[in-house]
Amino acid sequence: MSTAPALDPARTALLVLDYQPAILALLPESGDCEALLGRVEGAIADVRANGGTIAYVRVGFTEADWDAIPAVNKSFAPLARHRVMHHEDPATALHERLAPQDGDIIVRKIRYGGMSTTDLDQQLRERGITTLVVSGVSTGGVVLSTVIDAADRDYQLYVLSDGVADPDTEVHDVLLHRVFPSRAHIIDTVELHALLRAG
């Protein structure tokens, strides 16, 4: 059983990070992807049912965004050069199984972190959110950047171990077992269900 503290749903947001077809396509084995989507779908339903907030973050670029990316940016300059991940491309939309509802937070970003190029932090604060449950693809990209940033902003953090994934399983495992525990409680979707009800 988890030793993580119970969640107060009214002050909790589930972050659904980069669950977009173009990014999910980078994961190995499509069967695993379906199972991953099913678990996150369940977590979203759980948080909703208990009165929590769902916050979606997706990556997508406008022409102006591409033009503003400097050549020295090792990660994003190639995206700009090849004009990929346009914000209106269906492959950058949120996955249909995890569709937002009225009242959810939805932000578009142009770098790794969920907060670095968005007003996500401001929107969460305005709702009185102090606790974040993090799901996302990939563990070594958006999840890592967002967890480090959110920890520095003093959010209470939980990472959904079965709601994050990475094309590189070794990177995924090192982050979940060696890096994230110093900043977040590591739980799975079953524990999330229990912690929401214990709050």
pLDDT tens-digit readout, 27-47 = 987 568 999 999 999 999 999
pLDDT tens-digit readout, 92-138 = 999 999 999 999 999 999 999 999 999 999 999 999 999 999 999 99
- The per-residue pLDDT for 132 is 98
Beta carbons of 24 and 95 less than 8 angstroms apart: yes
User: 180: which 2 tokens?
Assistant: 């994230």
Comparison of pLDDT for 2 and 140, the residue scoring more: 140
Span 151-180, average pLDDT: 97
- The per-residue pLDDT for 30 is 54
3-state secondary structure (DSSP) of residue 3: coil
Q: How far apart are CA 91 and CA 61, in angstroms?
A: 12
Q: Is the dihedral of CA 41, 42, 43, 47 positive or negative?
A: positive
Beta carbons of 54 and 105 less than 8 angstroms apart: yes
Q: Cα 63 to the chain's mean position, in Å?
A: 24
Q: How many CB atoms lie within 10 A of CB 149?
A: 17
Contacts of 90 (CB under 8 A, 6+ apart): 21
Is the pLDDT assigned to residue 48 strictly greater than 80?
yes
- The per-residue pLDDT for 44 is 98
